[in-house]
Structure 1
Amino acid sequence: MTAHVLMLSSSRQGSEPYLEHARALIFAHLGDIRDLLFVPYAAVTQSYDAYVEAVATALPECNVTGLHTFDDPVSAINNAKKNNQAIVVGGGNTFHLLSSLYSNALIVPMKHAIADGTPYVGWSAGSNICGQSIRTTNDMPIIEPPSFDALDIVPFQLNPHYTDYQPPGHNGETRDQRLAEFTTLNPTTPVVAIREGTALKLSGGTLTLEDGRSHKKDEHDGFIFVGDEKKPLNAGADLTHLI
C-alpha cells in the first residue's frame, strides 16, 4: 500500500491559533514537499479564496493553491504527484465537501492519486471523507450529495472532534449514543473516534494514532466503536489491523 495520508481530527486544539498544534505533524508528513493543492469545498460561510488565505497564513512555509482556481480540477488532482504537490482538504461542512467532490467528478481521481502515493492531509471534514462513508460525521446535512460513499482510503468510519462531554442539563443524545445508533445498524463496521489535537496516520501500510497536543489530559485519545463495544485508544496505538 502506497497511500500516505494524515487524518487530523481538528484544525485547532483548545485556544491555540489555526493549525498551530498540527504544524509538526503536517511537516513531518509532507517531508520536503511545500506545494499544497488545497481543496476548499467544505467552506460554506466563507469564500474559497478566504479559506486558501487562512491556510496560507497558518502555513507560511508552503505555497498554497486552491483547487477551485483551476479550469480543470480533475487534471490538477491527476498531476499533483508529478508536480510534487500534496493534496490538502480542509474542514467545514462534510456534506458540502462531498457534494462538491461529486459534482466536480473528483472522487475517482482523488482515490487514484492517493493510492498512487500522492501525499494527503485532511482535517475534520477532510478526514471524514477518508472513511468508507460520511455517515458518522457530526455535521448537519445542509446539502444532499449523490451518495454518502466517500474516498474509502481506510475501510472503516471516522468521527473527528470526538468528545464524551455531556453538558449539565442537556437532554440531547451524547456522541456515544449517536455512534451506538450507527454500530447497532452496522455491527461489523468499526468507527474510529479521535479527540481534537490527535490524528490518524497511514503510511507504508501502517496506521497509527498520533498526538499533536502540547500537553496530555487524563483521558484516552480516542476510541474504536464496534457493535456494542467501545475500546479505548491512546497516542502511539498501532491500528494497522483495521486496514
Structure 2
Amino acid sequence: MELLLLSNSTQHGRGYLEHVLDTVAGFVGGSGSRLAFVPYALADHDGYTDRVRAALEPVGISVRGVHEGADPVAELAAADAVFVGGGNSFRLLGALYRTGLRDALRAAVRDGLRYMGASAGTNMAAPTLRTTNDMPIVQPPSFEALGFVPFQINPHYLDPDPSSTHKGETREVRLTEFLEENDVPVLGLREGAWLRVSDGRAVVDGVPEGARPGRLFRRGAEPAELAAGTDLSELLAAQPRFDCPGY
C-alpha cells in the first residue's frame, strides 16, 4: 500500500501544494500521470478541482474530479493515484458513503492505487474520524473511515501556547481525552508535515518552521516528539481498541 498523508495542503506564505510539490509529483508519478481528485470535503466541487488542477498540471499531472463523470467510482480505474482533499471531515465521510467511494477506495488502494490525502483526506486514512478537528456539520452513517493505517491521525496539530489567555481545551487536552476512552495511538502532524507509508514502512517527514514534524500520543505515556525521518513502522501493527459499538 502506497500512502502520502499530508497535514495541510496550504502552507503560510505559499501557494496551494507549493510546499510539497516535489514530494507530491514524485508520489503521483510525475509528468504524464493521471490523478483522480475527490473534492467532497468542500461544497464547491468544481472550484476545488480547478485549484488542484492549477497546482499540478504545470508539473505534467492531469487532474480529473471524480464528480465530473457519471460514476465517481469508475473514475478510480482510470487514475494512477487518488487525492482526497481537505475541508470538513464529516461532510467528506458522508459523501464517501453516499457515492460508494468508501468501499471502492478501500478496495482500489489495497489493490495498488496510490492514495494521497490532505487534512480531512488524511483523517480518512485512519480507522475513524474521531480525532478530526472539524465540527460535525453533517452526520455520516458511521464514524468508520478507510482504515488504511491502524492508528489515528490529527492533522494541523497545534502545540499548547503557554502565553495564551484562552482557557478552553488545547489540542493536547482533547487528544488525551480521546485516549481516556480509546486505546489507540494518535499521530499529531504539525503544519508542513506528512506521513509516507510504503511497502510496510511508515515514516514521518516534512520540516515545519520552528518545530518537529510530529508528536505521538499513547495511552498512559507522555507525548513523544518526532523528528523528520522518524520510522513509525511499528504503528502499522497496532491493535486499536475503540469505545465504538460495532467497530
TM-score between both structures, scaled by the size of structure 1: 0.91
User: What is the identity percentage for the equivalent residue pairs of Structure 1 and Structure 2?
Assistant: 42
Alignment pair present for 1:231 and 2:224: yes
Residues 25-34 or 47-56, more deviating: 25-34
Is contact 2:90–2:134 with CA below 8 Å preserved after alignment? yes
Alignment pair present for 1:74 and 2:69: no
2:157 to 137, 156, 162: 162
Cα-to-partner distance string for 1:74-106 (whole Å, 9 max, x where unaligned):
2222x1xxx342111110000000000001111
Cross-structure match for 1:203 = 198
**Greater helix proportion:** 2
Alignment pair present for 1:89 and 2:84: yes
Alignment pair present for 1:176 and 2:167: no
- Give the 3-state SS of the residue equivalent to 2:132 in structure 1: coil
Distance in 2 between residues matched to 1:117 and 1:208, nearest whole Å:
19
Is contact 2:91–2:140 with CA below 8 Å preserved after alignment? yes
Kindly state the Cα deviation for residue 216 of structure 1 after the two structures are TM-superposed.
4.6
1:241 to 196, 212, 234: 234
Cross-structure match for 1:35 = 34
* Counterpart code for 2:217: F
Cross-structure match for 2:241 = none
* Counterpart code for 2:93: L
TM-score between both structures, scaled by the size of structure 2: 0.90
Distance in 1 between residues matched to 2:130 and 2:15, nearest whole Å:
29
Kindly state the Cα deviation for residue 165 of structure 1 after the two structures are TM-superposed.
3.8
Q: CA RMSD in A?
A: 1.4
Is contact 1:183–1:226 with CA below 8 Å preserved after alignment? yes
Cα-to-partner distance string for 1:107-156 (whole Å, 9 max, x where unaligned):
11100110011011110001000001000000000000000000000001
Distance in 1 between residues matched to 2:41 and 2:96, nearest whole Å:
10
Higher relative CO (Cα under 8 Å, sequence separation at least 6) belongs to: 1
Distance in 2 between residues matched to 1:157 and 1:223, nearest whole Å:
12
Q: 1:65-144 to 2 correspondence within 5 Å? A: 65-77=64-76, 79=77, 83-144=78-139
Residues 112-121 or 83-92, more deviating: 83-92
Q: How many residues align?
A: 231
- List gaps (5 residues or longer) in structure 1: none
* Counterpart code for 2:224: K
Alignment pair present for 1:221 and 2:213: yes
